[in-house]
Amino acid sequence: MTAQLIDGNALSRQLRQQVRERTTALKERGLTPGLAVVLVGDNPASQVYVRNKVKACEEVGFHSVLERYDATLTEAELLARIEALNQDPAIHGILVQLPLPAHIDDKKVIEAISPAKDVDGFHVASAGALLVGEAGFKACTPYGCMKMLESIGLKDLRGKHAVVIGRSNIVGKPMALMLLAANATVTVCHSGTADLAAMTRQADIVVAAVGKRNVLTADMVKPGAVVIDVGMNRNAEGKLCGDVDFEGVREVAGWITPVPGGVGPMTITMLLVNTLEAAERLRP
């Protein structure tokens, strides 16, 4: 068996076209979705990420604002700027790029964003809404993973066992909540879980989101399982790779996401979807 690829690039293009069409319809009613991206400091990876987010906004017809600040910006100054964006009617979504400089409390900044504009899906109100099944914003990377599962016919996961390797608030926990909402049985692990392989070999779906190469190998995968690789690492040759031993696991799994070209493109796409939905809630 050789696994079928879940093509994140192709699915992303499809979803962005839908966003573009819905944005055009909103503009005809006099409303342009607006996203503000705030970058503090000069982290090279963060600069690439925010540039790609702003470019994606432009491609689908959004109004976008990129605010760059020196790493010396105080926490109070950043919180004041967020409050101003909360009050700006032209801005429907606010994203503060993480990580922030050490002197700024990430959690305090995230919680300062209005839940109505929390298009990154990190606010406690967004997590709470997800937990009780109410309308809110889903964290972009897990949301993208769920869309990938839907694309291969797995929307209602009743009777499926999913294992999430990675317990972070950014991916692991929101991913587990979304899988639970889709009626899956969910086990959350991490790279140090005792006998991790015993857990993953039972799973119909494995989501690897640790940030560690080869955390999931072929002998750890149930034949025919769906494997979603959220990791972003570099191998010994410097090439991008995920958390999964792709070449080995693809010979056992039924479906697998590649790195690059899998989950990565979907993260920004779901940010666009969230921003559009924030604007649509205000449509005239």
Residues annotated catalytic, as ranges = 53, 97, 120
DSSP 101-142: PTTS-HHHHHHHS-GGG-TT--SHHHHHHHHHT-S-PPPHHH
d(CA 42, CA 90): 27
Interior/surface letters 84-108, b for 16+ CB within 10 angstroms, e for the rest: ebbeeeebbbbbbbeebbeebeeee
Known binding site for NADP(+): residues? Answer: 166-168
Reply yes or no: is the peptide bond before residue 265 cis, omega within 30 of 0. no
Structure tokens at 229: 């690789």
Q: Pseudo-torsion of CA 168, 171, 174, 175, nearest 10°?
A: -120
Burial level of 248, CB count in 10 A (0-12/13-18/19+)?
middle
Burial level of 130, CB count in 10 A (0-12/13-18/19+)?
buried
The residue with tokens 């976008």 is 64
**Measured CA distances, 52 to 228, 233, 267 (Å):** 23, 19, 11
Burial level of 20, CB count in 10 A (0-12/13-18/19+)?
middle
d(CA 197, CA 62): 44
Chain centroid to CA 5: how far? 19
- 66 neighbors 50 (Cβ within 8 angstroms): yes
- 39 neighbors 70 (Cβ within 8 angstroms): no
